[in-house]
A and B are shown apart, each in its own frame.
Chain A
């Protein structure tokens, strides 16, 4: 009995150990996004609340939590409230297999990549349910767009991961990182450069971020799937979206940029050693790319998104799977050097 209780406590502690930093990171990321986009617009961004506006995100959270949740007429109440959870839970659950450093991972399961693919695809159910349960045509349109988009980009993302798996020879994320050992040029971004680009772009599309944000295209369908959500229910969608962005940044650094490995040779002392901070730095740079894209690119037209996914990414992906196979078969790449 006590053993069960202790196990429960221990599990809870492990869950909180990842969830709380992720939520805090989301808060800071939202602030950072508004700052960066402001700077790129030659504005200042939020600078009133707290020093340099650092507490802006927390003020927004308080505002959202205090607001009323309006349920539309004839909305399916149960699904309406389930949908934000269905969007958020997979976004947080995926963090369970992310290795932060050597051995520093919640569950070091062997089929980690499959678990990740499953979890990141689950998130779209929340979006579809939100669109359907809202009883609003804008929401429904947004949900349909999102579903079609995620399905087509999942394939490109999968092909990019297949290339990584071929080179690393493992589905375990820690092993994938270890297979990239040996310095900057041994990371998978070099042999798989097109796939790294495709993976990250597909990640941007999966998280429905600009320039692939037709699912919530403000100018056409107001806010898409979450148009009827307000208050804390909306906050959950917001949290899920940003948690997914950070997750994609972490995963791209793990799959293509050597995870926690240092880009410098090992005899350079502290900065030559692999550590959590290297992973953090890489993920930060990639997360910055999300914001940079948003400030730079106009939104894709819907048929252009489908064309990019099906007629460009997938053929390139298929070809590169072959290339990756040849690289491995001819021993041009030997993982874990």
Chain B
């Protein structure tokens, strides 16, 4: 008996119609698509993107060349040279390179920094056109920091309570 009912059920295509009903419902669902260049998904204030070196409000660079970031970097993407600064003899970096091809954007450098100098901003839309452009030098990193200091500071303030 059950075989007969099953046969009749399959002849009536009930399961197929059920499936088509489901796709019909989905036809009218609001779409998930984010039309990327025109629309953006909100980013977390912990987003780890392009790096930057920050300065204190008086214009002095924060980095004291402790090289903790260089030591902690799991991808060996950071290279630092240091020397006493000519003007006042303070310990400063003479070279601070980040190879973006090596970097895995883990954020350890930012976590290890005792003076909040190296940070990862939420910038993720960048590209390279020439060989070698993947290596960010100290002036470039400082320039990024200067340009986006407001956003960087705002994101750090928001996250401060959870650190």
Report the bound CA distance from A58 to B30 in whole Å. 27
Q: How large is the interface on A (under 10, 10 to 19, 20 to 34, 35 or more residues)?
A: 10 to 19
**Interface pair B23/A42, CB less than 8 Å apart:** no
Give A41 to B31 CA distance when docked, in angstroms: 9
Q: Which of A39, A197, A297 contacts B26 (CB 8 A)?
A: A39
Write out, one digit per residue, whether chain B residues 1-38 have a CB within 8 A of any chain A CB (1) or not (0).
00000000000010010011011101111111101000
A61 at the interface (CB under 8 A from B): no
Distance (whole angstroms) from the CB of B156 to the closest CB of chain A: 37
Q: Which residues of A contact B24 (CB under 8 A)?
A: 292
Q: B42: shortest Cβ distance to chain A, in Å?
A: 20
Interface pair B31/A44, CB less than 8 Å apart:
yes
Using Cβ atoms and an 8 Å threshold, which residues of chain A touch B28?
39
| A30-68 contact mask (Cβ, 8 Å, vs B): 1 or 0 | 000000100111111001000000000000000000000
Q: Is the CB of B26 within 8 A of A42?
A: yes
Contact B19 A297 (CB under 8 A): yes
| A42–B34 CA distance with the chains assembled, in angstroms | 11
Chain A interface main SS type: helix
For window 280-298 of chain A, which residues contact chain B by CB distance below 8 Å?
292-293, 295-297
Which chain B residues lie closer than 8 Å to A43 at the CB level?
Answer: 31-33
Query: Are the C-beta atoms of B27 and A40 separated by less than 8 Å?
Result: yes
Report the Cα distance A295→B26, complex, angstroms: 10
A296:B27 contact, CB within 8 angstroms: no
| Interchain CB contact (< 8 A) of A39 among B19, B20, B27, B35 | B27
A197 vs B33: C-alpha distance when bound (angstroms)? 35
B26's closest neighbor in chain A, by CB? A40
Instruction: Tell me which of B23, B33, B35 has the highest count of chain A C-beta atoms within 10 A of its own C-beta.
Output: B23
Smallest CB-CB A-B distances: 7 pairs:
A44-B33, A296-B23, A40-B23, A39-B27, A296-B19, A296-B20, A44-B31
A-B contact pairs, 24 of them (CB 8 A): A39-B26, A39-B27, A39-B28, A39-B31, A40-B27, A41-B26, A42-B30, A42-B31, A43-B31, A43-B33, A44-B31, A44-B35, A47-B35, A197-B13, A292-B20, A292-B23, A292-B24, A293-B20, A295-B23, A296-B16, A296-B20, A296-B22, A296-B23, A297-B16
List B residues at the A interface (Cβ < 8 Å). Answer: 13, 16, 19-20, 22-24, 26-33, 35
